């Protein structure tokens, strides 16, 4: 049947084929997105940051420039509740900010990029991170600088620092040979109180436990990016 059709007509058939292929691709993409939401139920994907401690958090000044010297550790716990498929987290990047503004995302401290993290079905993955180094603190004007230093000293005395977390990744799933993705979800982790355990001032004040930052992972159909 198909053979006969192809041999009989020329340019029109080619156009028809091309149109058919494009339509099929669109339908397949639609099915892929539908499957992803129906089977994976990405809304149930759980990410949290726990077990965080800071052993060094110093602010120094040199030539009108402030530097934050830091040494901290934390866990990122990923939970894939799905029974059928494993998940890939591409470009998985947890990041740390301090005294940041939600909108400006200034005062970036550190982050770590991992190309791919794979997680099996119904599985929990815990990744322990250590961020250590120094970073310039951008303080634009005197008032802002004073507020920043004030808050910093207050938190250091209290034995906690309020850390802002940001997690970014893209995700795809694999069902046999079918790859579904890539999705770019919106992730919001907020902030948590992280105990400062580095002060060698002898006295242990309170036995502090770090807060857990629970991230909200939001998927929309517009998160789907097949070209990524
Ligand atoms: C501060 O600036 C002076 C001159 O610009 C330079 O000689 C000095 O090394 C700088 N100090 C630091 C700690 O960067
Ligand atoms: C954090 O990660 C470490 C190392 O993987 C692990 O031993 C510890 O139990 C984790 N803590 C929590 C609260 O998951
Ligand atoms: C979780 O994944 C790891 C490696 O992908 C695997 O060894 C382990 O058996 C999995 N655990 C469960 C409960 O499926
Ligand atoms: C930073 O603070 C630690 C204590 O947390 C201290 O031992 C160290 O000397 C300080 N380093 C600098 C560069 O101020
Ligand atoms: C808190 O500290 C007290 C002693 O100062 C200790 O007995 C207790 O086990 C600690 N609690 C935790 C949760 O570490």
Digit-coded pLDDT (tens) for 117-162: 888 888 899 999 999 999 988 877 788 888 899 999 999 988 899 9
Taking the CA of residue 77 as reference, the ligand 2 atom at the shortest distance is 14
Closest ligand 1 atom number to CA of residue 62: 13
Largest CA distance in the chain: 91
Q: Which of 61, 142, 138, 52 is nearest to 99 (CA)?
A: 138
**Distance from the CA of 191 to the center of ligand 5, in angstroms?**
25
Which pLDDT value is given to residue 200? 57
Given a contact cutoff of 8 angstroms between Cβ atoms, the answer to whether 120 and 86 are in contact is yes
Calculate the average pLDDT of the chain.
82
pTM for this model (two decimals): 0.76
Among 57, 62, 68, 69, name the best residue to mutate to test ligand 4's pocket (greatest count of ligand atoms within 8 A of Cβ): 69
In terms of Cβ atoms closer than 10 Å to its own Cβ (0-12, 13-18, 19+), residue 219 is: buried
DSSP 38: I
| DSSP element (H, E) containing 7 | helix 2-8
What secondary structure letter does DSSP report for 84? S
Domain regions of the chain by residue span: 1-40, 44-223
Which comes out higher in pLDDT, residue 67 or 203? 67
Radius of gyration of the chain (CA): 24
Residue 127 to residues 49, 75, 156, Cα–Cα distance (Å): 10, 5, 27
- pLDDT, mean of residues 96-108: 76
pLDDT at 70: 95
Query: Which of ligand 1's atoms lies nearest the C-alpha of 63?
Result: 1
- Give Cβ neighbours of residue 155 (< 8 Å, ≥ 6 apart): 161, 162, 196
């Amino acid at each position: 049947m198909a053979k006969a059709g192809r041999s009989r007509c020329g340019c029109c058939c080619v156009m028809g084929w091309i149109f058919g292929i494009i339509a099929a691709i669109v339908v397949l993409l639609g099915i892929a997105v539908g499957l992803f939401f129906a089977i994976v139920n990405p809304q149930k994907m759980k990410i949290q940051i726990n077990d965080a401690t800071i052993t060094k958090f110093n602010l120094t000044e040199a030539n009108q420039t402030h530097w934050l010297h830091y040494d901290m550790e934390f866990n990122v716990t990923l939970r894939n509740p799905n029974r059928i498929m494993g998940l890939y987290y591409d470009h998985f990047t947890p990041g740390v900010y301090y005294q940041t503004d939600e909108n400006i995302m200034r005062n970036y401290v550190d982050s770590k990029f991992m190309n791919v993290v794979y997680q099996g079905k119904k599985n929990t993955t815990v990744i322990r991170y250590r961020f250590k180094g120094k970073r310039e603190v951008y303080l634009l004007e005197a008032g802002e600088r004073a507020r920043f230093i004030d808050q910093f000293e207050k938190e250091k005395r209290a034995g906690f620092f309020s850390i802002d977390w940001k997690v970014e990744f893209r995700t795809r799933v694999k069902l046999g040979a079918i790859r579904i993705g890539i999705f770019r979800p919106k992730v919001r982790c907020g902030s948590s109180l992280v105990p400062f355990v580095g002060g060698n001032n002898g006295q242990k004040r309170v036995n502090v436990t770090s807060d857990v930052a629970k991230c909200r992972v939001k998927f929309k159909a517009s998160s789907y990016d097949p070209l990524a």
